[in-house]
Structure 1
């Protein structure tokens, strides 16, 4: 299994406030189902800005790109 490589958070930003699978707020409700699904699939939403990411699934892993925060690989 490949290692998740997070891009650096924006300068002065707090902890991620959005679920990277469903795009919902992590402060409002638990996301156990999202966490379980993320074990098998890439993120779809940027956890920092809630933008939909461009996701590419490859035989050796995946990459997800946020236009604001860059690329994540897994």
Structure 2
């Protein structure tokens, strides 16, 4: 199954627009919005990484 990102995972705006600030912050921060449905995710930052949970699409880890 292929996933198409429709939304920016940092600010929640359409991914087709330019997001230079989001691209820079993405290097250091976990995603805050689900890229598939634009819902705000529950994010937990740990010393060894992060996990983000979307109620619709499940968990992502990094």
What TM-score does the superposition give when structure 1 sets the normalisation length? 0.77
Identify the residue that residue 3 of structure 1 maps to in structure 2.
none
Question: Please, which runs of 5 or more residues in structure 1 have no aligned partner?
Answer: 1-7
Are residue 25 (structure 1) and residue 18 (structure 2) matched?
A: no
Between the two proteins, the alignment pairs up a number of residues equal to: 62
Identify the residue that residue 51 of structure 1 maps to in structure 2.
39
> What SS does structure 2 have at the residue aligned with 1:35?
helix
Superposition misfits of 4+ residues, deviation over 2 angstroms: none
What TM-score does the superposition give when structure 2 sets the normalisation length? 0.91
- Determine which structure has more spread, i.e. the larger CA radius of gyration: 1
- C-alpha RMSD over aligned residues: 1.5
User: Per chain length, whose mean CA-contact separation is higher, i.e. which structure has more relative contact order (CA < 8 Å, sep 6+)?
Assistant: 1
Following superposition, the deviation at residue 33 of structure 1 comes to 1.2
**Could you give the per-residue CA deviations for residues 11-63 of structure 1, whole angstroms, max 9, x where no partner exists?**
xxx61110000000012x20121011010010000000000000000011100
Of 3, 15, 32, which residue of structure 1 is paired with 2:4?
15
